[in-house]
Homo-oligomer: A and B are copies of this chain.
């Protein structure tokens, strides 16, 4: 992992104001894999008291997008073309942890997936969502 690439991703992440709103934290940046976590906080819930699907989606989308960016030429930014999320269980617990990974890095199209887990207070994790999507490079 190039230090400069990680620095550029951290700078981009810092510009995503929604990540501050979500309490998002960039846990890991590796080539083709990025991990983002955020607390399951009282201002992010749906009607039954678990985190709204938009939170898992947002963390997973950003994790997948930055994982794609690690495979793109310098000077690129990344845009989500489409993303699908299948929800596996209610997002309850202490925090959500989204791991984005590149499945195939083409020159024009990067196929990505994310797995989102809910971490309990005791540190145990369970899957809450899986995502499959498409990212493209754009000129930054």
Contact = CB atoms under 8 A, between A and B. Distances in A.
A118 interface: no
Given A52-B58, A53-B80, 20 more contacts: A15-B45, A16-B46, A18-B45, A18-B52, A18-B54, A20-B43, A21-B43, A46-B62, A48-B77, A53-B61, A54-B55, A57-B61, A57-B83, A82-B87, A84-B84, A84-B132, A108-B136, A109-B136, A132-B132, A134-B134
A5 interface: no
Shortest Cβ-Cβ A-B pairs, 8 listed:
A54-B58, A84-B84, A18-B52, A15-B47, A82-B86, A12-B47, A88-B104, A132-B132
Given A18-B54, A42-B17, A43-B21, A127 B108 contact: no
Interface of A: 12-13, 15-18, 20-22, 42-48, 52-55, 57-58, 61-62, 77, 79-89, 103-104, 108-109, 111, 113, 127, 130, 132-134, 136
